[in-house]
Amino acid sequence: MTKPPSRVDTNRREIAAAACTLVADGGLDSISMRRVATHLGATTGYISHYYADKNDLLEAALREALTELTDLAEPRSTNLAEWIDNAVRTLPHNVASQRFWRILTAFQSASLHSPRLADILRTYVAEQISTLAGHLADEIGTASKPVELTALARSLFALVSSLGTTSTITPDVFTPEQFRTIIHSSVHGLIEEFTARSDA
């Protein structure tokens, strides 16, 4: 039986979610302990009770945003076809997914100057690439070298990330069906090239 979250965990997530909302609306420059407190109708003392400083809060907000992305991708993929479905579902095509990508794009930019934010993003990306490499192994065959499957997974993950960033900067460029066509053709094109190279 899953243990229900404690009040501390609930309050921390509520604050982190409020920070995410401010980032989605105004970027990271809009974040301060005072502004988050005002958004929640709370005091800065309430915020600082749970977060030591702004950097601590930003790290929690990034983790909260990545949790939101995981929720958007539910149920979790168990094969390559489901991974493609999840990728399409999480790319910016509606209010919820556009909000997430605005937040993610802001944090990606900030991570260039913040090793702690960069570490969070690197860990998340590594987990996603590991999952995708496993799906590719099932699709192509486990005889393929793990390092080659990981390289292929990185290429596909980079494609989805690029589509997300591009569609955040220039909304409504792609429909969900266009996302699906681009990802599907790229996935299978890369697999065919990978297989042909391995057989050569």
Total domains in the fold of the chain: 2
84 and 143 inside one domain: yes
132 and 33 inside one domain: no
pLDDT of residue 3: 67
What whole-number percentage of the chain has pLDDT above 90? 73
For residue 179, give the nearest of 98, 68, 111 by alpha carbon. 98
Please return the burial class of 20, using the count of CB atoms within 10 Å of its CB with bins 0-12, 13-18 and 19+: buried
User: Which residues form the domain of 131?
Assistant: 73-199
Q: Using the predicted structure, report yes or no on whether residue 2 has a pLDDT greater than 60.
A: no
- 68 within domain boundaries: no
CATH code of the domain in which 154 resides? 1.10.357.10
Task: Check residues 39 and 192 and name the one with the higher pLDDT.
Answer: 39
Q: Mean per-residue pLDDT for 143-154?
A: 83
CATH code of the domain in which 7 resides? 1.10.10.60
Query: Position of tokens 């069906």?
Result: 177
57 and 95 inside one domain: no
17 and 100 inside one domain: no
112 and 175 inside one domain: yes
- 48 within domain boundaries: yes
